[in-house]
Amino acid sequence: MNGFSRTQWHLIDETHTLREDILAALTEGDLSVTPGGTNPPLRDLLVDLGRTERVYAASFRTGHFAIEAIPLDAGAAGSLDGLRTWFAGLDEDLKAAFATLSDDDLAAFQIDRGEGFLAPPVQQIFIYREAMLIVAAKASVYLRLIGRPLSDQMRAWIG
């Protein structure tokens, strides 16, 4: 296990708490809510977040980051419990993939994000964290639309 995993992973876990807060505020019916226009249902927003997490985990193993059509685990988006279970597994996979990198890997390993953009693993995990924050901000719009309260962390981090 590398030094970042030992001392800084809590930053990623704290960001995952935002997603858990979003799920805790929802009912099953809320997953199909959309603000209208071309905006996806909330379920799709959350599923895309899970697919993104899977791509980031794979990037720490392969050195390549490729957003592409990633199949959804059967039943993951069928319910809030399905999403929670799916995300718990994705979180463990992401943590395990990152933890397998040594401190030397953190210094020298480069992840090819395409178009000449190479990111060291610590930069890559913080880009992932930024993606999580963006989705939490989007989800806060959905929560406000349906009259669900924002958690203390959501209000502090997202507004």
First CA to last CA distance, the chain:
35
Domains recognised in the chain with CATH numbers: 3-157 (1.20.120.450)
Q: Which residues of the chain have pLDDT under 70?
A: 69-75
Phi, psi (5° rounding) for residue 107?
-85, -35
pLDDT of residue 106: 96
pLDDT of residue 75: 58
Task: Report the C-alpha gap between 94 and 77 in whole angstroms.
Answer: 19
pLDDT of residue 69: 56
pLDDT of residue 67: 81
pLDDT of residue 136: 97
pLDDT of residue 73: 62
pLDDT of residue 78: 77
Give the residue among 142, 150, 156 at the shortest CA–CA distance from 30: 142
Q: Which two tokens stand for residue 31?
A: 């997953």
pLDDT of residue 71: 62
Q: What is the separation of C-alpha 11 from the centre of its chain, rounded to a whole number of angstroms?
A: 13
